[in-house]
Amino acid sequence: MLRSCCVYGAGILCVLLLIAGIAMALAQVFQKLINNTIKEQVVLENGTEAFSVWRTPPPPVYMQFYFFNLTNPAEVLEGDKPFVLQVGPYTYRSYRPKEEVKFMDNGTRVAAVNPKTYVFEPSMSRGSEDDIVRTVDIPVVSAMEKFKDTIVVSRIISDVMKAKGIGMFRTFRVGDLLWGYEDPLLKELKQFVSDDHFGLFYKKNGTDDGDYIFFTGKQNYQDFARIDEWNGQRTLNWWSTEECNMINGTDGASFHPIITKKEKLYIFSSDLCRSIYAQYESDVSVRGVPGFRFVPPSEVFANITINPDNAGFCVPSGNCLGSGLLNASVCKEGAPIIMSSPHFYQADNKFVQDVLGMNPNKEEHETVIDVNPVCLYNHI
């Protein structure tokens, strides 16, 4: 009787294992069928959901600006370290539709521009556009740098600054500093400069950043929304190596479907003047939707000792600033602009120590991209 029970139990176990095996095999086959269907249907062409989402992304996009208010300008001019206080955020709803869409090469590529419009959102902001912040007078520093070897213009700059009481630091309305104002120094230098207005995002509200040509994904699903050309070029010309001048990936608004944890997500940013990549870090849930979190590793912005491939970003050649900084003057009309993550996150510690008020931390200052491995848009 005991033997019969054992045989009977073994038989039940075998049946259950067989059912489980069949179920797993069917699940794998079913998932493969789903993935293959997605790969075939996710193409940028008229009438598809993929095209609709790519052309007008459905989730609302918000841009938040923070500023560092300089509290000790006189002491800085005497050689002390600057002490700054962070203010903000000043939040704007961003609308980013693709326009002037034109399909090319039998639907394998598509041309478009991507104008961005910003509308202030008071309810999501800590302050108004009329808030006053004190910071570096960028036009003054830019003009001094640009004309430092031109004696006549340098003398004009010095005379105008003395006559008008213009210094290295100045107070600005948040709205003016962002979107533009008539600058008194540039106005006096109008014959030497292209524009007498300045703003961090001057002429960037309601305008696009150039002509793009994207792959549609028709030939390869992994090419979905990948940039082929920007402003008629397949590479940049700002940096000193071919690798650093490469235009890689998408514009960051969407990625190909069926993303895996092992791959790198490449993004080209015209604001950064370069391409970057992000790697899988963890599983996340955004408003109940499961996804993968990708982050740019520190090597992306590391110095050449850590990442020799970044040598091309040292401009002029050999002038390397250290980890976490990018000299963007070559793509910002010569203005002495250095980019970094907020609070010098992942930068060399000496930069953090040189500015009082810096408090870099992963939770607040890391760039993250949360993507659903099947969906077409992401959350940054």
Q: Give bridge partners of residue 289 from the DSSP assignment.
A: 286
Residues 157-192 have pLDDT tens digits of 999 999 999 999 999 999 999 999 999 999 999 899
Whether 257 contacts 376, CB under 8 Å: yes
Residues 252-310 have pLDDT tens digits of 988 998 899 999 999 999 999 999 999 999 999 988 889 999 999 999 999 999 999 99
H helix and E strand count, the chain? 9, 18
Element (H, E) at 203: none
- Would you state the pLDDT for residue 276? 96
Across all residues in the chain, what is the average pLDDT? 88
Q: Is the sign of the CA dihedral 175, 338, 61, 346 positive or negative?
A: negative
| Mean pLDDT value across residues 13-29 | 51
pLDDT tops 60 at residue 346: yes
235-241's contacts with Cβ under 8 Å and 24+ in sequence apart are 236/273, 236/274, 238/273, 238/315, 238/330, 238/331, 239/274, 239/312, 239/313, 239/315, 239/330, 240/311, 240/312, 240/314, 240/315, 240/317, 241/311, 241/312
Q: What is the CA radius of gyration of the chain?
A: 26
Q: Side-chain half-sphere of 101: how many Cα atoms within 13 Å? A: 15
- Would you state the pLDDT for residue 40? 59
Q: How far apart are CA 31 and CA 44, in angstroms?
A: 23
Alpha carbon separation from 363 to 126, 201, 367 (Å, rounded): 20, 26, 9
What pTM did the predictor assign? 0.85
- Would you state the pLDDT for residue 27? 42
Collapse the DSSP code of 309 into the 3-class scheme (helix H, G, I; strand E, B; otherwise coil) and give the result: helix
- Would you state the pLDDT for residue 210? 95
- Percentage of the chain with pLDDT > 70? 88
| Mean pLDDT value across residues 227-245 | 95
pLDDT tops 90 at residue 64: yes
pLDDT tops 70 at residue 18: no
Mark residue 169 as left, alpha or beta (left: phi above 0; alpha: psi -120 to 50; beta: remaining).
beta
- Would you state the pLDDT for residue 30? 38
Q: Which pLDDT band, with edges at 50, 70 and 90, does 33 fall under?
A: very low
